[in-house]
Amino acid sequence: MHILVIEDDPTTGDYVATGLRAEGHVVDLLDNGRDGLMQAMTGSYDVMVLDRMVPDVDGMSILRTLRASRNPAPVLLLTALGGIEDRIDGLNAGADDYLTKPFAFGELSARLAALARRPPPSDEPTVLRARDLEMNLLTRKVTRGGQPIDLQPREFALLEHLLRRKGRVQTRTMLLEGVWDIHFDPQTNVVESHMSRLRTKVDKPFEVTLIETVRGSGYRIAE
């Protein structure tokens, strides 16, 4: 992917750029808003990472300018503020996702992958599959190797979330936001508890593990 990163702090900028390059992406890193806006308007990017507070032209202004000129590239906004209102402000200005500093690289990487590969909304399958697991979205029945698996509604939602994003890492916070609509960081291992219950039903009785743990990042169902 071709990724534009606008971040004024050199440590964070280098860290993000180095990490993304290590994953095989092409990264342009700019440390001020003026050059950043110019680059964003002229270049063609799959996804952009924008710090909300950068010198010269701030991130929100860059975002509004991009959206006003109908630039469709997905934008992830980085911010020092973590309030709900700040998040809503950012999304209203046209951001596609929002990440509060400080963040772990795994979180950023997983979110960028999700942004760049958003499925077209019209493409609505009725059955989701991974290896021998089948989830029927109409009858809400789940089977693995032909055996029915009885899931609680929220376990179903969690599995559906992972299946729809097959092959992509889902971090704890992405799962909290996507499955439970929770936009803060619980000080309790809620995701781990739900995941262990889901695994007991989906993975434990079977030989092949479907839900992988990605160390330091999150969870994934392999493609």
Partner 1 sequence: MTRFRSTPLRLSVVLITVFTVFTSVGLGIAYVIMHQALGAEIALRADQTIEEIRAIPETEERLERAGEVAAAADRRALLIRLELDGQTVANIASDLPEGIVGDDDVALPEPVADSYLVRHADLERGALTVAVGRDSMSELQETFIAILGFALLPALLLTSAIGIVVVRRTTARVEAIRSTRHALSEGDLVARVGAPHPDTDLGDISRDLDRMAEAQEAAVGALRQIGADIAHDLKTPIQRVAVRLEQLAGSDLPDRAREPLAQASTETAQIIATFQSLLQIAQLEGGQGREAFTRVDLGGLLEDMVEIYGPSAEDSGGLLTCSVESPLPVSGDRHLLSRLVANLIENALRHAPRTEIRISLTGRVLAVRDGGPGIPEGQRDHVLRRLARLEASRSTPGSGLGLALVKAIADLHRAELALGDARPGLLVTVTFPG
Residues that bind partner 1 (CB under 8 A): 9, 11-12, 15, 53, 80-85, 88, 100-105, 154, 180-190, 193-194, 196-197, 216
The C-alpha angle with vertex 184 and arms to 30 and 11, in degrees rounded to 5, equals 25
Is the Cβ of residue 1 or residue 190 nearer to partner 1 in the bound state? Answer: 190
Minimum Å distance from CB 145 to partner 1? 26
Distance CA 142, CA 156 (A): 8
Minimum CB separation of residue 98 from partner 1 in Å reads 13
Distance CA 8, CA 19 (A): 17
Question: If you write DSSP's letter for every residue of 133-156 in order, what string do you get?
Answer: EEEETTTTEEEETTEEE---HHHH
**Nearer Cβ to partner 1, position 58 or 134?**
58
| Side-chain-side CA neighbours of residue 41 (13 Å) | 14
For residue 61, the minimal CB distance to partner 1 (Å) is: 14
What is the nearest approach in angstroms of partner 1 to the Cβ of residue 108?
Answer: 11
> Which residue number, 101 or 141, has a Cβ lying nearer to partner 1?
101
Nearer to partner 1, 132 or 185 (CB): 185
**Orientation of helix 153-164 relative to helix 190-202, angle to 10°:** 90
